Structure 1
Amino acid sequence: MKILLNLLPEEKKDAIQNRLRSRFLLWQLFLVFVLEVFYLSMLVSTYLVLDYQLKSLKGLEASSPLASQEDEERLSGYEQTFEETNALVEDVARIDASHLYFSQVFKILDPLLTSGITINELATVEYRVSLAGVAKDRDDLLMLDERLKSAKECVTDVNIPISNLFSQKDIDFQMDFSILPECLKKL
């Protein structure tokens, strides 16, 4: 067990206690001052950063009309190029839609021809087709005539001269027929 003796007079005790309180108060004041400086430095740095960003945005805004005008000119150039290209494509599409493919004549004739008929010459003048060839016999030629006349959706005005029908075998023939323009368009 320890025994403590208090030999200080009361005035000195009060003086020591006052010194301790004043030190504690000074320490608290110093701490508050440091915190104020810290928060103030944070506010100043935030202000400086925002001010710098504002100045850079104003600088961009000042140079922006020139850049946006260049962009608008470039964009209008692209738009004009696209319009010209689209006009050319429309012209090509219009031409292609009205284009006639006379190769369709072969597709029409192929199922109509028999093995006894050989085509030597095929000529077209506008929508009129002239055929010249050889038929093995008269029946093959008459069958071709009948098939052409029955193909009314594409073939009209079939004309076979009667002189072609005088021979029985190896008949040299010529015939003309008209073909409808709708049948010459590629589907």
Structure 2
Amino acid sequence: MKEKQKKTEQILQIPPVIQQHCGFIDAEALAVTAAEGVCVIHKGELTALDLVRVIAALSELASDMTVQLAGTCGLCNNCGDEKPKADAECGYDNSPAKWVADCSLCRDLLDESQDIHIPDYLLEEAGIPQGARLEAYADDDSGEITVAEANVQQDINDVPPEILSVLAQSGVCLAALDELIMREEIVYGK
């Protein structure tokens, strides 16, 4: 006798008090927008003012989360070097963006020329899937460089450029962010 496998469906129930707060009670339909790691539920039909309110709520949430991430990563400290003091006479820029630009580690993370590129046929010969992250090791004695598939397959390169730019311009330590991403560190909701 074959046992039937039951599909387990999860049903999302929104408490009435939250529905009322969101204005969902009178909505004929709800819309769901989903992306990796997030789901946004809103009324299916929105007036211009409703849309403005959704944008404002999402902007505030994005801002709060950006502040949380920046606080977790900390400000770039030029790899431990003291930040130079601003000098109005010589015009030295001492902005947070300059701290990141002056930090060799953060600067290297933004430099795409640091990426390792190996022809697809060599990757195939080595049994490394196309698109896999690579890392390189140098042998000091022989001068040979060994390239292998990286143990960690996520890093700062997975951050959208527009988000990375905002963080860099704000002086957030990109090296710390890269480390948090690679370690899959929980940084929100803990």
Larger Cα-atom Rg: 1
TM-score norm. by structure 1 comes to 0.23
| Larger helix fraction of residues | 1
| Higher RCO (C-alpha 8 Å, min separation 6) | 2
| Larger strand fraction of residues | 1
